[in-house]
Structure 1
Amino acid sequence: MRIIIIGSVAAGTSVAAKARRNNIDNEIVIYEKDRDISYSVCGLPYYIGEEYISRENLNPRNPEWFKKRFAIDIKTEHEVIGIDADKKELGIKDLQTGTTFHDSYDILVLATGAAPVKPDIKGLEGNNVFIVRNITSADKIKEHIEKEHPASAVIIGSGFIGMEIAENLVKKGIQIAVVEALGQVMPSYDPEMSLRIKKELIENKVQVFSGEKVVKVDDENKSVLTDTGRMLPADMVILSTGVKPAVDLAKQAGIELGTTGAIKVDTKMETSIKGIYAVGDCSESYFLIDGNPCYRPMGSTANKTGRIAGDVITGGDLEFRGILGTGIVKVFDLTCGQTGYTEKEARRAGYDVEIIHNIKPNQTEYFEGSSEMIIKAVADRATQKLLGVQIIGKKGVDKRIDIFATAITFGAKAGDLSHLDLAYAPPYSTTKDPVMYTGMILDNALNRGRKIITAQELIADRMKYTVIDVRSNKDFAKGHIEGAVNIPLGDLKEKVRELSQNESIVVHCNKGVTGNAAQNMLINLGFTKVYNLSGGYKEFKVENQ
């Protein structure tokens, strides 16, 4: 059997390696239009910024290695220009010689990846405009920095790559401005979580302009112009405006596309045309929680789907189970992780959601270096299942986001989290891990009458509630919610007698724990409409900027 794979980065080489491990006799050929193969796209920002990361670190394999190790023929700088699905034949152009030829296949796998989204901006053809997409593009950026010594750079877009590029260019002494067309940086996060990322950027001398669009790049005057009339210095410009699935070949072949615009596949990664498969960034995924189609191009998903297709085309029975969109990114000293639905996505999907914010240290607080993280969790009130989590903090985020991803994968309900048997020692966690606390808060809200109100809900309907701040008089004097009544927890039992038990009351402390104690007390005293402010005053301050 002759297997041809189009594309040789993460997904394509994963297909080939798995197919060869399953069967040593099949002929496997990969066509790649680039000259580099099997490289780490996610490592490109660090290759640009860190002197100790070499090209070889990102690109450790070459075609000769694959030929010797797996008997796989990889033909680089060969572009597939057409697919005849009826004849099972490809049209191919040798980019070195310019000649074209045909090749035939028994099984075809599309691993064509994604293409950068290029917004409608004048001047993008300038010599100082760059897109981070492959090693060659990263080489050009490094070369530009070394030769031109730019003092300023504008990054258009603020997704994962944009944030990583910002940090790595700051390390090189370049003044950075980030311009994001949407109303917040890191649009894949909920707005209040994004505010923490924006604050971190500003604290590291990065200018942030959200809700603005770049309309012109002026290469001659080394500047960019936004739609507000703002002129920003730009010795170099980095486009980080996202990607779209590379599906031109698929469309030309008559392969069905999904609702996301990516190639529609089944759980075996097979397309609408029998014998043609699609993997990685060109293929559509579906959400593990509810099966809804989604497009989340990630290196981890590319490797996973590549392995599945490689198994299936050689007689295996692996199936794709869907994704949660689990991702993590470093933004200076912050680590930002997410899995599953955000609040806005869950509401858009039709869920009635319970939202909580949990602020906890990554380890026992008396250990030097202990650092807080903010966990935002989204649960479905109907089933009580966890739908999604976002975490931002300096330490311990990766560990917790992976625990949450595992829990969601296996259909955990909110209350299940508090029963997890997680590792504990003071240098690594608290006796009740932040994951467990998250489950306890959700379970209390869903099942035990301990209602939670978010800062946004309170701000939107402020006059409906009596707000009681149960912190100390000293903390209250430092800052408080406008109109709040300060009754420290120790005085609460005596001083609430003048309040109506049917009054809508919001209690809060600094982060939520003492607020929960106050809520319990009031409920025990017969109050029926008592809410604990999610994340306490600390979260309210972030959201009420």
Structure 2
Amino acid sequence: MKMIIIGSVAAGTSAAAKARRNDENIDITVYNADYDISYSICGIPYFLGGEVENLSSLTPRSAAWFKDRYNVDIFTRHEVTQINTDQKEVVVKDLETGKTKMDTYDALVLATGASPVTPNIPGVYKEHVFQVRTIQDTSAIDQYMKQENPQKATIIGAGYIGLEIAEQLTHKGLEVTMIQRGSQVMPNLDQDMAFRVEEELRRHGVQLFLNEEATSIEDQSVTTKSGQSIQSDIVILATGVRPNTKLAEKAGIKLGSTGAVAVNSKMQTNSPDIYAVGDVAESISFITGEPLYRPLGSTANKMGRIAGDVITGGDLEHRGILGTGILRVFNLAVGQTGLTEKEAKEHGYNTDILYNIKPSKAEYLGGKELVIKAVADRHTGRILGVQIVGEEGVDKRIDIFATAITFKAKAEDLFHLDLAYAPPFSTTKDPVLYTGMALHNSIQNKNRLITPGELIERMENGEALQIIDTRVEKQFKVSHVPGAINIPLSQLREIAKNLNHDLPTITYCNSGVTGNAAQNMLINMGVKEVYNLSGGNKNFQSYIKH
């Protein structure tokens, strides 16, 4: 049996390795148009910033290594230019010599990846303008920085790569400006979480231009749509990627609604014996069952392994993804999994939203604050998605939530998780457990939550509300929700007798716990409709900033 793989980064090499592990006799050939194989795209920003000392650290595997270990023939600088599906053959061009040859296959794996989107901006091909995708790109940026010693950098685009590059170039001593077409950085987050990342960027001197576009790139500056002229010695394009589907389209292979190659759970395309994996392939949302395109190295490795297994008689299947991701932005870690609030509502879910502000470990051991936004389905109680921002403990919690969502956990299930506890690592009631408890109570209408956005909407609609700030007077005077009355929790039992028990009532404290205690007290005293402001005054004040 002969297996040909087109592309040799994460997905292609994963498919080759799994096929070899399953079958010692299969003939495996890999064609790769690039110079390098199996390299870490995600590690590139950290080399440019100096955290990774040697570029070779990002390319730990060579064609010779794969030949020795897996008996796989990898041909770099060889581009497959055509697939003849009827004859099961490919046309291969040697990019060094210009010669072409034919090769045949029994199984063909498309692992052609994705390419950076090049915006249509005059000056985009100037020598100080770079994209960040390959080892060759990285080497070119590194050489330019060593030779020209740029002092001012402009990054166009504020997704994962753009933010990582911004952090790293700032650490390297450059003045960094970011231009983002949309109204927020990290478009995959809800805006009320993304603005926390924006604040962190500004704290570290990064200048942000949101709702802005670059209209031209000159030798020493970038001009924007609003007429701003930004001094720039180096420009990084971080405007996203698109799947490399031209070869597939030319062969009559079907694309999905996301624009990537459509595949089934076994990574098979509509063309017999042709598979697609990694950044060129469409995935599926584990929650909605709908097509989803989130090009990540972890997903690419998984897809490649599945294809390699299926081709050699295995029964692995792709179950879908949540789009889980995490990155570091200076002192913050930012994690996300599943649906955002916006996405959940777009898919028709009746949601319950919790903002949970808790320390990542015991405060007496220096525990730093985590802000967790959790989205649940009120009808089923199922957790739909979580976003977390904090200085520590984000990775641990986002992985717990991703695991729980994968196994279709409900809010109440989170509370019953038997998580590891010791003061240096957690609190007795871990933020994950509290998230489950508070969301479940809200879904069951025992302790209803109200988000800052929902409260503001009701206030703007002129609804008569009773808003009670349960903090001490000193805190109340610093900041509070408009229209709130200050009744510290210690006085609430006595004063509550004079409150209007028929009026919708909102309680809050600084972050939520005391507000919840006040909510329980008023419910037990007969107040008919009581909500606790999710995330408390701290979250409300942050919300109105954005």
TM-score of the two chains, using structure 1 as the length reference: 0.98
- The one-letter amino acid paired with 1:276 is I
User: Deviation string for 1:246-302 (max 9, x for gaps)?
Assistant: 111110010111110110000000000110000000000001113111000000000
Distance 1:25 1:164 in 2: 43
Identity, in percent, stands at 55
RMSD, matched Cα? 0.9
Distance 2:53 2:390 in 1: 25
Distance 1:87 1:46 in 2: 45
Residues 1:328 and 1:51: Cα distance change in structure 2 (over 3 Å) = closer
Q: Which residue of 2 is the match for residue 314 of structure 1? A: 312
Distance 1:458 1:217 in 2: 44
- The one-letter amino acid paired with 2:244 is A
- The one-letter amino acid paired with 1:443 is H
Q: Which residue of 2 is the match for residue 125 of structure 1? A: 125
Q: Which residue of 2 is the match for residue 419 of structure 1? A: 416
**Structure 2 counterparts to residues 82-481 of structure 1, below 5 A:** 82-219=82-219, 222-367=220-365, 369-462=366-459, 463-464=462-463, 465-481=465-481
- The one-letter amino acid paired with 1:100 is T
- The one-letter amino acid paired with 1:344 is K
- The one-letter amino acid paired with 1:300 is S
Q: Which residue of 1 is the match for residue 27 of structure 2? A: 27
Distance 2:486 2:240 in 1: 47
Distance 2:469 2:261 in 1: 53
- The one-letter amino acid paired with 2:338 is G
- The one-letter amino acid paired with 1:456 is G
Question: Which deviates more from structure 2 when the two are superposed, residues 462-471 or residues 415-424?
Answer: 462-471
Distance 1:409 1:483 in 2: 42
Q: List runs of 5+ in structure 1 lacking aligned partners.
A: none
Distance 1:473 1:55 in 2: 57
- The one-letter amino acid paired with 2:415 is S
- The one-letter amino acid paired with 2:74 is I
- The one-letter amino acid paired with 1:38 is S
- The one-letter amino acid paired with 1:303 is N
- Return the offset for 1:115: 1.1
- Return the offset for 1:51: 5.2
| Matched pairs, number | 542
- The one-letter amino acid paired with 1:429 is S
- The one-letter amino acid paired with 1:91 is V
Distance 1:211 1:51 in 2: 32
Distance 1:380 1:139 in 2: 47
Distance 1:354 1:117 in 2: 36
- The one-letter amino acid paired with 2:417 is L
- Return the offset for 1:52: 4.2
- The answer as to 2:509 corresponding to 1:509 is yes
Distance 1:138 1:461 in 2: 51
- Return the offset for 1:98: 1.1
User: Deviation string for 1:145-172 (max 9, x for gaps)?
Assistant: 1111111011000111111100110111
Distance 2:346 2:444 in 1: 24
- The one-letter amino acid paired with 1:356 is L
Q: Secondary structure at the match of 1:544?
A: helix
Distance 1:535 1:228 in 2: 36
User: Deviation string for 1:400-447 (max 9, x for gaps)?
Assistant: 000000000111000100000000000000001100000011011011
Question: Which deviates more from structure 2 when the two are superposed, residues 535-544 or residues 116-125?
Answer: 116-125
Question: Which deviates more from structure 2 when the two are superposed, residues 168-177 or residues 453-462?
Answer: 453-462
Distance 2:492 2:216 in 1: 59
- Return the offset for 1:531: 0.8
